[in-house]
Copies of this chain bind each other. A is one copy, B any other.
């Protein structure tokens, strides 16, 4: 992992502030124009940051939720020890539901909350245990990214060209990303891949974030609009598709950024492997299939505008789901930090 750190953002997407009293994030809504970091100390600020996508990417919001709850617990232990339990339980509820689709957020928040259940211990001790648990989640996320990179690299080699959707890179995690992890891993071995990055409307995570972090890491990247995917595939340019996931159901159905499902259909039509790369925490065996995944619908204004500039008639009706579901039948392999899985998929608890 150490050898890879130079390739990723010198500034991690999500971490504890140096003194441990704040959740520190890159404000990704300011990229690529400016690299701005925020130190969040209040529940309202954390929820706003998650809902406004200042921090985004399923693994990163999981880590943010964990650190956020730990930060709030440490403060509650000092300022309101008598109501410590109520405070952290309520904060966990609010954080857990800040975004509904990614399973990592609830998973990470619940883990930190559970760690704080230490029979008979005073709030200060329990808060410290919660802080340690959040730090563990952070370190595990970094390690998971490295593992995904190592397993994913077995499917690829230098000289290949891959296509990715949205941002499942370093900015989406505490480490070297998920979908892009093998690209960073291979780069560290001197094997360079070219990445085609879908801009990913409405919020342009591909244009703003993926293009930015790959350029910064010295990896050749070509930006395209979402409607150009079929054309570049037909040109024979793309060797594989790499995407992340927000939730993977027991049968291998994959919920991910809106547009992923269309890319999967196009990859199948052109005979291109379609790989999903995600940490084990993204697997949700309790969800039987994609039909059961709640799909967040977001504001119509995201589609009617680009970066707050109007692009359509005011008030026009809009369809704006944040995610779609790619059926397992279109997924060539699922790469987690534990290995490479091929169909048929049967994930169990």
Contacts and interface: CB of A to CB of B under 8 A. Distances in A.
Interface of A: 32-33, 165, 196, 198-202, 204, 207-208, 211-212, 215, 220-232, 234, 258-259, 261-263, 265-266, 269, 303-304, 306-307, 309-313, 316-321, 324
A152 to B, nearest CB: 23
B223 A319 contact: yes
Contacts of A196: 319
Contacts of A306: 306-307, 309, 311
Q: Which of A165, A227, A258, A262 has the most CB of B within 10 A?
A: A227
B211 A316 contact: yes
A220 B110 CA distance: 44
Contacts of A310: 32-33
A225 B212 contact: no
A196 B320 CA distance: 12
23 contacts: A196-B319, A199-B303, A199-B312, A201-B226, A202-B225, A204-B311, A215-B316, A220-B317, A221-B316, A223-B319, A224-B320, A225-B226, A225-B320, A226-B259, A227-B258, A230-B265, A230-B324, A232-B319, A262-B262, A265-B269, A266-B266, A306-B306, A306-B307
A221 B312 CA distance: 12
Q: Which 10 A-B pairs have CB atoms at the shortest separation, nearest pair first?
A: A227-B259, A230-B262, A226-B227, A201-B225, A207-B312, A306-B306, A231-B324, A224-B319, A226-B226, A222-B317
B226 A321 contact: no
Given A262-B262, A317-B223, A311 B207 contact: yes
A229 B309 contact: no
Given A311-B204, A316-B215, A321 B261 contact: no
A323 to B, nearest CB: 9
A231 B318 contact: no
Contacts of A220: 317
A234 B317 CA distance: 19
Given A215-B316, A222-B319, A228-B319, 15 more contacts: A165-B227, A196-B319, A201-B201, A201-B225, A211-B312, A212-B313, A223-B304, A223-B312, A225-B258, A225-B259, A262-B266, A265-B265, A269-B269, A306-B307, A307-B309
